[in-house]
Structure 1
Amino acid sequence: MTLLDVSQLTVTTVNQVTLVDGISFRLAEGEMLGLVGESGSGKTVTCRALMRLLPGQGLRISGGSINLAGRDLVPLSEAQMAGVRGREIGMIFQNPSSHLNPVMTVGEQIAESRRLHFGASRRQARADALDFLRQVGIPDPQSRAKNYPHEFSGGMRQRAMIAVALAAEPRLLIADEPTTALDVTVQMQILRLLSDLRSELGVAVIMITHDLGVVAQTCDRIAVMYGGRLCESGGKREVLHHAAHPYTQGLIDCQPQSEGSAGHLKTIPGQPPVANHFPEGCRFHPRCHAASEACRQQQPALHYTQNSLSHAAACFHPFQPLTQREG
């Protein structure tokens, strides 16, 4: 059953610079979607738009719809959105140190969410906080609930951030690069935790990342963004093993290989485009070895591949043949 249906979502600045350009995707209940792309591709802006928490004063949703469980969030008032944030959509931020309250204990922050969203008594909220700390794998929750965020290690802070997000029992979790600042071992633990929570609680997850290795381990589907547009989407195996868009294949080729002889790490030539200097046509054409005149002049539409109606790409010269049916 579809939980989230985003259609033609567009985000612009007050100066009419388009940062996110007509993004569309769906997310089923209990599904994990990997939103992938280089820095500046529009991943975080897209997900902040879902919560109507666009950074700064100059960004706005200028088009499209965000249907969560059949309700469009775009026209809701700020007061109405206050009931959506946390309760229906939770967010796990990249840097928990910046988003956990430094002058409240971790237990108090979880308990506050229980009181706010469920009207729990102080005693019940404190008991709930211990349960959520146990659920995310924090040892000795009775003692650790009394600690402040700075008294936790990086990995434990991220677990605490997840506990705070889960305390409101949202149907959708947005994880914004949740493992970026962690070492490899702790990264694996956090990814395993998110996968386990998705299975146990049935919560849907959007994983924002630039790391295809992360989505290969955790996600059901992948959506690849470039220059504020969606260039490819599909099931994990379809995208990773049968990439249709040259940019997606470039990201795959850039992944370090653990096997075989040592060699040079592959890169995608050039630099990602800047929002106020997006090129005409396909935004990837300045970096694409297969670019033609059509790529420089026209924006390719998203079309399904011939082998799957769940795998789509926006390219005039795809690696997989496309149909005329738009994705």
Structure 2
Amino acid sequence: MGDRVTESEEETSYSYSSNEEEDLTELCAFVKYNKEYKREGPALIYIPDNYILTEYKDGKCEKGYMLHGDNGLSELKYENNKITSRTVIEATPGKLHDPTGTYEFNGFIQNDSPMGFGICKDIASNQVIYQGYMIGWERSIDGVSKKDNKKVFSGSWCANKRCGYGIEYDENEMISREGYWFNDEFIQSNLFLANPLNLSMSKWKVNTSLCSEVLNFSGFQKVEEITFNSRNFETTGIVNITGLQNLKKIEFEANGFSMFGYANPKRSFCISDCPLLESILIGKYCFTDFTHFELSKLDSLEVLKIGSIDFDSFNFYEASFSIQSSSC
């Protein structure tokens, strides 16, 4: 990423077409899901060598932003959740204060608002508090936050919150935590080795929870096999495995995704639209308090094993049970 404000010499606008060289394949999406398993709210999407910042309303988005050149941004327009156009934002270098007079931004500006890479200072202390991309006074996409002229966090941002891969530093600027963040919360450290592009791997062994609320793998389009380790994910309330075109096997080892309390109407499990999925294995004592269980549009499914025949496994103990198929 750029470390200074410069003017881009590239074209100011162009129309997007699928023939362009840039790969817009979604690798991973950091976004919440509503009760209908539709994306809802701000989202940061990793694509090869870039990011997309957008916002969903009931599963649909109309516009977004992505990095352009050294310091600029492009605006994306969508139809039916597909990018139909991309225009480089014509921002100009300058300085301005926020409406409260608390902060000064020195960087790319459009319509009296930050729109691109820049440096944000606290006016009272004259100290840099953020260096990176901003969209309308919100830290966005990629940047470094600072306190007392020392790095606090370096990584991805969405809607002014830490989101995606990042590094947190202690008061001596030594790394204190490195991993993935969502909605300003640290969610895990040992799922990915270092590079977000590892999301293109075909096999996953997941040893710790991705998120305290929603487990979603929709961006992992190349994954063929997923195994969730035992005795984890007890606070994950929604498991949504949808639209994985290459997934063949998924296994949940024993004692996972369970609070061992009363049935919780907010906890749900859904696997759907995975055309090559052949095997679903769910160990004993998994999902004991989940109240919704659904499998649908799994045309290649051959093996479904839930619990153990030798034990009372209590899987989905008080859940409704729904299996649907598009095949006769």
TM normalised by structure 2 equals 0.32
Q: Which has the higher contact order (CA 8 A, sep 6+)?
A: 1
The structure richer in helix per residue is 1
TM normalised by structure 1 equals 0.32
The structure richer in strand per residue is 2
Q: Which has the larger radius of gyration?
A: 2
